[in-house]
Amino acid sequence: MTKLSVNINKIATIRNARGGNVPDVFKAALDCERYGAQGITVHPRPDERHIRYSDVREIRSALTTEFNIEGNPTGSFIALVSEVRPDQVTLVPDAHDAITSNCGWDTIKYRYFLSDICKTFSSKGIRTSIFIDPDPAMARGAALCGADRVELYTASYALQYPEDPAKAIEPYARTAAEAFECGLGVNAGHDLNLENLAYLVHNIPLLDEVSIGHALISDALYFGLKDTIGAYLAEIRKK
């Protein structure tokens, strides 16, 4: 079954807006696990505007499910991941001033750079996933880089889904099929929500995991964290 990894960045954003430790990011991570999430995702950025490096270190010691750290593999990021040794690292090419991730890697252009990063993390027993746009060539390139998985950047799927679900999913299904053919696992994330999640999972049946943050935490403002995680798990389990 596709796993749900909850991205807790937005919880840290709320905390940082006021100072102090409310809401408690550490407690929130453990609560997400307790309510059924099968993983926790964090995306620390150099300016620490949401998740801080200290959060990453604190959370790692207490989690019992999969821990996924995503981000641009700068020197400080590589050092943090190498120290913390999460279950998975997801390489994302976001600029330091990006509001949110907005594109996948060109795994052909950056093949040698990404290959070196994958080797570094693989030597430490960390599964490596590369964030890519829905393009089969990028999946093939990720395999040549030595990645274990790709994460499909689902922004365009989410944008097109309300008008034409079949058209929206088509490039993602093709890219996932190519990734599977290359021996890669497949994750997905960005702008997934309660409206478009089940269709994605149904049409990519071997999808390993989805990473969801913004929509899930926003829904939790209305429904509560426990019920919201339950609702997302129910969407994943729909046939």
Task: Give the sign of the dihedral formed by CA 144, CA 146, CA 148, CA 152.
Answer: negative
Would residue 170 show up in a list of annotated catalytic residues for this protein? no
pLDDT tens digits for 175-188?
A: 999 999 999 999 99
- 25 within 8 A of 12, measured Cβ to Cβ: yes
Place of tokens 């102090």: 20
pLDDT tens digits for 148-166?
A: 999 999 999 999 999 999 9
The active-site residue, picked from 43, 50, 66, 151, is 43
> What is the rounded end-to-end Cα distance, in angstroms, of the chain?
11
**Hey, is 41 helix, strand or coil?**
strand
Backbone φ and ψ of 97, nearest 5°: -105, 10
Determine what percent of the chain falls in helix, strand and coil, rounding each to the nearest 5: 45, 15, 35
**Residue 25 parent element (H or E):** helix 25-34
Q: Amino acid letter at 18?
A: R
How far is residue 135 from each of residues 53, 132, 185, 205, 212, measured CA to CA in Å? 32, 8, 15, 18, 21
Would residue 214 show up in a list of annotated catalytic residues for this protein? no
Q: What is the pLDDT of residue 99?
A: 65
How far is residue 96 from each of residues 9, 70, 71, measured CA to CA in Å? 16, 13, 10
The active-site residue, picked from 33, 50, 66, 70, is 70
The active-site residue, picked from 66, 151, 190, 209, is 190
Would residue 96 show up in a list of annotated catalytic residues for this protein? no
| DSSP structure class, residue 116 | H
Q: Amino acid letter at 156?
A: S
- 37 within 8 A of 231, measured Cβ to Cβ: no
Q: What's the CA gap between 122 and 147, in Å, rounded?
A: 9
The answer, as to whether pTM is greater than 0.85, is: yes
Q: Amino acid letter at 159?
A: L
pLDDT tens digits for 56-101?
A: 999 999 999 999 999 999 999 999 999 999 999 999 998 766 667 7
